[in-house]
């Protein structure tokens, strides 16, 4: 049976990297007596696939991991067991059976919602939302996107699906996944650059609110796929 687990990651756990989160869940599933399936072969490991890894320092209300289980366990029981064994900063929110033909979380993601705030003392001295609206009126929004191996100029406008909120809390829905992956820092940084300012790397508090896939050309929360196990 394919299962999708939704969890929150917050507080001090936002400083734990993706590889450590993977190892943490492997142990959590064992401690919680979740009947997870293992691969076959010389070095068996748990059948587990995470959605888009979260950056260091980013909190989230919507992280997802897909697993396979070997016997039926109710969603209520699984959530209770896992939360009983969780550390502070990780909360299991749902445990749902997936349809057999469902794509795994990593392969299916298309967009994510974020809330962005400025740390105390780092708020800009200009009306941020007004400048973001002005920037979005342009035909393109070219930014320098850096990776570990290269630097490229990317037009991020097609990846900014929507934005709103106010200068205290900026809300945005951005493209993510293999085709075009836009992070909130790129959008905020583009506004600063348009004002000849430089965004401090420690200026933002970011929280991911939801992750979406595309079903019939409609963005659909990963949590809407499948159903609770009775």
Average pLDDT over residues 28-47: 92
**CA-based nearest residue to 230, from 123, 72, 31, 65:** 72
pLDDT, position 144: 85
Please say whether the beta carbons of 143 and 193 come within 8 A: yes
pLDDT surpasses 90 at 103: no
pLDDT band at 53 (very low <50, low <70, confident <90, very high): confident
- How far apart, in Å, are the Cα atoms of 44 and each of 36, 38, 73, 104, 120? 12, 6, 22, 20, 48
Q: Counting beta carbons within 10 angstroms of the beta carbon of residue 25, is it exposed (0 to 12), middle (13 to 18) or buried (19 or more)?
A: buried
Task: Give 69's DSSP letter.
Answer: B
> What pTM value is reported for the model?
0.91
pLDDT value of position 192: 95
Mean pLDDT of 186-211: 95
Q: Please give the helix or strand (H or E) that residue 206 lies within, else none.
A: strand 204-215
pLDDT of 148 higher than 80:
no
Question: What's the CA gap between 180 and 36, in Å, rounded?
Answer: 32
């Amino acid at each position: 049976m394919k299962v999708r687990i939704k969890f929150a990651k917050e507080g001090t756990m936002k400083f734990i990297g993706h590889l450590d989160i993977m190892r943490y869940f492997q142990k959590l599933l064992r401690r919680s007596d979740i009947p997870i399936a293992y691969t076959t072969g010389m070095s068996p490991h748990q059948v587990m696939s995470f959605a888009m890894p979260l950056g260091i320092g980013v909190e989230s209300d919507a992280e997802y991991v897909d697993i396979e289980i070997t016997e039926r366990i109710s969603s209520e029981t699984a959530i209770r067991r896992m939360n009983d064994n969780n550390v502070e900063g990780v909360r299991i929110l749902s445990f749902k059976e997936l349809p057999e033909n469902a794509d795994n979380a990593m392969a299916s993601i298309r967009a994510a919602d974020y809330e962005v705030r400025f740390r105390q003392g780092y708020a800009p001295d200009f009306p941020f939302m007004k400048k973001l609206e002005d920037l979005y009126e342009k035909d393109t929004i070219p930014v320098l996107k850096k990776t570990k191996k290269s630097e490229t100029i990317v037009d991020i406008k097609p990846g900014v699906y929507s934005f709103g909120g106010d200068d205290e809390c900026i809300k945005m829905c951005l493209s993510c996944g293999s085709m075009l992956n836009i992070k909130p820092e790129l959008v905020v940084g583009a506004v600063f650059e348009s004002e000849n300012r430089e965004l401090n790397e420690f200026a933002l508090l970011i929280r991911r609110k939801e992750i979406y896939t595309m079903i019939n050309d409609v963005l659909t929360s990963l949590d809407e796929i499948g159903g609770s196990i009775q």
